[in-house]
Structure 1
Amino acid sequence: MVLVLVVVAFALSGCWAGLRLAMKARREVALLRRVNATLEARAEQRARDLETALAVAEGQAAQVEAAHRAKTEFLASMSHELRTPLNAVIGFSDLMRINEALEPLSHRQHQAVEQIRAAGARLLTLVDEVLNLADIEGGRLTLEVERVDPLLIARQVCETLRPTAQTAGVDLREPPPVAGLAALADRERLRQVLTALIGNAVKYNRPGGAVLIEAHQSSEGVSLSVHDTGPGLPAARMDDLFQPFNRLGREASDVAGAGLGLAVARRLIQAMGGRLEAESREGEGTVFTVHLPLAVAQPRLVAASPVPKMDLPEATLLYVEDNPSNIALMRHVITALGRIQLHVAETGPEGLALARDLRPDVVILDINLPGMDGFEVKARLAEDPLTRGLPVLALSARATPADMRRGREAGFAEYLTKPLHIPALVEALSRALTPDIATRTAGAGAA
């Protein structure tokens, strides 16, 4: 009997233990279910929060993109509006300088014309730098990277800046030519960068100082250094050197500038796959070094002959332009050139009618015309059998790379920009009025 009771007791205790374990398991399962439900609710809430954040981010990205587009449109519009009056300022001052032999100016008048021309050029540079910076930051910069000789470009820049250096009393030492120097870069953008660097080395130098340009080529690339003997910069200011609109304490100096040149230069070099570095010692001078990728491809031999300089032949010119000051400037320029008969139309439809009636030898066409813009006028001229063979030159204040590319695609023989550069206009007219010369030159270049 005792044994039976012991067995029953053990059985009852085992059942009780099993029952307790089962109840504990049920409690733990219920707890796990509650925890799981809580986690699922939190996950759903987190997913909703992420969806909301994503929608907000997409909306902000759209707003940023819209702001970039609005800034681009504003800058393009500002460029056009500034270039139009600058066309008259720079154009008429150039014309007065060109005609000075026939219409002499007094000494004070000559100085005034030079000041007007210089101020117009500074404003034009500022407009270009602002547009360049906006294009770079907005990812709209277009480059044509090719094999170039950076030292040759530097020598050409030195030749252009030599009168400025002589006026400032600075010895601008043109680098000697070096055979076989080749880098990958956009030719015109590199010219822009070197003009800024060498120009600054002259402007911020001292009377009796010097500017030296050196070039080196290695297996890693090509480097071009611009040394000056100016006042240099303290080490504490070097971090601010490439910041836009930062003139490093020289805002009150007599040297004109907006503090954009170096910022644009560094971004342009970076866009070409290179880098721009600077070293400076206060009281001794500064060295800017441009590093560019090495061009390893062998150049193709080209036999070319320069276009011979020649006088413009007698011709009939149709100018389609709505701005009175631009029309007045063109009348003065054509009068100075002589042997060209100028006709003016102020609207697109009037220009089309005159082109059909006159059959001019060349047409110069503004782009931003009222009602019918220059691209549409060009397309209409190309559609008409009577005018489709006319050489058409664009002359516009719309001067962004995209505008120029669109002009080339539209079939303009040349795309000139305002402010008007009279020598460039003469060369374009020469090519348009003497196509046999241009054809021979093109054929030689393709040989």
Structure 2
Amino acid sequence: MQLVLVVVALALSGCWAGLRLAIRAKGEARTLRRLNATLEARAEQRARDLQTALTLAEGQAAQVEAAHRAKTEFLASMSHELRTPLNAVIGFADLMRLNEAQDPLSHRQHQALEQIRAAGARLLTLVDEVLNLADIEGGRLALSVERVDPLLVARQVCDALKPMAEAAGIDLREPPAVAGLAARADRERLRQVLTALIANAVKYNRPGGAVLIEARQSSDGVSLSVHDTGPGLPGARLDGLFQPFNRLGRETSEVPGAGLGLAVARRLIQAMDGRLEAESREGEGSVFTVHLPVAVETPRLVSASPVPAAALPDATLLYVEDNPSNIVLMRHVVAALGRIQLHVAETGPDGLTLARDLRPDVIILHINLPGMDGFAVKARLAEDALTRDVPVLALSARAAFADIRRGREAGFAEYLTKPLQIPALVEALSRALSPKAAPSAADADAA
């Protein structure tokens, strides 16, 4: 009996233990289900939060992109609106310079002319700096890197800045020649950089000071230094020179500027795989040095002097332009050149008709024509057997990198930007009218 009771007790104990285990397991299962449900709810909430954040980020990114596009379009539009009147200001000033030998100016008139030209050049520099900074920050900087003689570019910049230096009483000395100098750079961007450096060396110099330019070439690269004899800066303040809009406390100075030139210059040089460095000592002046990669190939020879007007051949030029002041300016410029017959059309369709009737040697086509714009006119010219071989030069106040690239892709022989520089126009016409630029009329007839 006792044995039976023991067995029963053990059985009951086992059942109770099993029941306890079952109850515990069931409770733990409920706990796990609750935890799982909680985790799933948290995961779903996290997913919803992430989706909300992603949607918000996408919306903000779209807003930023829209704002960026609006800013870019605004800058391009403002550039166009500023360059169009500048074309007349700088163009007529250059024209008066060109005609000064035949129609001399008094000393006061000459001084006034140089002031007009210098002010126009300063405004153009500011427009270029703002556009360049916007393109750099927007990742749209397009470069045309080639073999360049930086001394040639420096001499051209010195020629352009001589009136400014003379007015300030600064001795701006052209750099001594260095044989075989060749760097890899974008010629136009290098010109902008050197213009900023040399103009600053003139502006921030002492009365009666000097600006010296020297170049060196080694196996490591090409360097070009601009020395001034100004008041200098302490070394601790040099980095601030390259920050946009930072004029180092000179905001109220009589020296004009927006604090953009050096910031843009450094970024342009860096984009060309180069460096822009500064050294300065208080009371001793400053030195800005551009370092560029060396060009391995022999640089092509380029004349340091602009093409003289007398070197242009007899030719017929068709100018398609709707702005009256620009037309008047072009008539005066062509009259000064002497050997070119000018015809003008004020709309795209009229330009196409005249191009077929005249079969000119070269066409200058304004891009922003009303109705049919310059790109549409160029496409129609290319489709016509009578006009497809005529070299066409684009002329536009839209000077952003994207605009210039679009002009090249459209097949224009040159893309000239306003304000139009008369030496640049003469050189572009010389290239377009060279025997290799376009076939003769006889060749076209034979075709």
- Return the letter of the residue paired with 2:69: R
TM-fit CA distance, 1:428: 2.7
Aligned match of 1:322: 322
Structure 2 distance, partners of 1:152, 1:358, is 38
Structure 1 distance, partners of 2:8, 2:99, is 131
- Larger deviation: 189-198 or 301-310? 301-310
TM-fit CA distance, 1:143: 1.2
Are 2:182 and 2:298, in contact at CA under 8 Å, matched by a contact in 1?
no
Q: Does 1:399 align with 2:399?
A: yes
Aligned match of 2:84: 84
Aligned match of 2:280: 280
Aligned match of 1:65: 65
SS of residue matched to 1:100: coil
Aligned pairs (5 A) from 1:374-385: 374-385=374-385
Q: Does 1:102 align with 2:107?
A: no
- Return the letter of the residue paired with 2:191: R
Structure 1 distance, partners of 2:106, 2:393, is 36
Structure 2 distance, partners of 1:304, 1:283, is 39
Are 2:389 and 2:438, in contact at CA under 8 Å, matched by a contact in 1?
no
SS of residue matched to 1:101: coil
Aligned pairs (5 A) from 1:141-290: 141-150=141-150, 153-154=153-154, 157-158=157-158, 160-161=160-161, 164-172=164-172, 176-178=176-178, 183-213=183-213, 222-234=222-234, 237-290=237-290
Aligned match of 2:443: none
Aligned match of 1:136: 136
Aligned match of 1:115: 115
- Return the letter of the residue paired with 1:104: P
Structure 2 distance, partners of 1:148, 1:255, is 32
Deviations 1:3-29 (A, max 9, x none): 766666566555544443442332222
- Larger deviation: 36-45 or 105-114? 105-114
TM-fit CA distance, 1:219: 6.7
Aligned match of 2:333: 333
Deviations 1:142-176 (A, max 9, x none): 01234545456445545654554455444556555
Aligned pairs (5 A) from 1:365-444: 365-435=365-435
Percent identity at matched positions? Answer: 83
Quickly say closer, same or farther: Cα 1:198–1:100, change in 2 above 3 A.
Answer: closer
Structure 1 distance, partners of 2:217, 2:421, is 36
Deviations 1:163-210 (A, max 9, x none): 544554445565555566655433332232122123212221112434
TM-fit CA distance, 1:324: 0.8
Deviations 1:51-72 (A, max 9, x none): 1211221122122222222222
Structure 2 distance, partners of 1:364, 1:288, is 39
- TM-score w.r.t. the length of structure 2 is 0.85
Aligned match of 1:93: 93
Q: Does 1:43 align with 2:43?
A: yes
Quickly say closer, same or farther: Cα 1:84–1:149, change in 2 above 3 A.
Answer: closer
TM-fit CA distance, 1:35: 0.9
Deviations 1:270-311 (A, max 9, x none): 22233333343333333334344x44x741586889997544
Are 1:431 and 1:438, in contact at CA under 8 Å, matched by a contact in 2?
no
TM-fit CA distance, 1:130: 0.9
Are 2:307 and 2:427, in contact at CA under 8 Å, matched by a contact in 1?
no
- Larger deviation: 339-348 or 227-236? 227-236
SS of residue matched to 2:40: helix
Aligned match of 1:444: none
TM-fit CA distance, 1:381: 2.3
Are 1:319 and 1:342, in contact at CA under 8 Å, matched by a contact in 2?
yes
Structure 2 distance, partners of 1:222, 1:316, is 43
Structure 2 distance, partners of 1:233, 1:329, is 44
Deviations 1:229-261 (A, max 9, x none): 322234664453222222222233332222110
Aligned match of 2:297: 299
- Larger deviation: 123-132 or 181-190? 181-190
Quickly say closer, same or farther: Cα 1:11–1:215, change in 2 above 3 A.
Answer: farther
Structure 2 distance, partners of 1:104, 1:151, is 32
Deviations 1:307-364 (A, max 9, x none): 9754434433322111111111112222222243322211111122222333333322
Quickly say closer, same or farther: Cα 1:212–1:3, change in 2 above 3 A.
Answer: farther
Deviations 1:383-426 (A, max 9, x none): 23333333332222222233333333333333222112112222
Deviations 1:79-132 (A, max 9, x none): 111111111111111112222233333333222222211111111111111111
CA RMSD in angstroms, aligned pairs only? 3.2
Quickly say closer, same or farther: Cα 1:388–1:125, change in 2 above 3 A.
Answer: same
- Larger deviation: 169-178 or 107-116? 169-178
Are 1:317 and 1:340, in contact at CA under 8 Å, matched by a contact in 2?
yes
Structure 2 distance, partners of 1:230, 1:397, is 36
- Return the letter of the residue paired with 2:31: L
Deviations 1:356-376 (A, max 9, x none): 333333322211111111122
Aligned match of 1:443: none
- Return the letter of the residue paired with 1:42: R
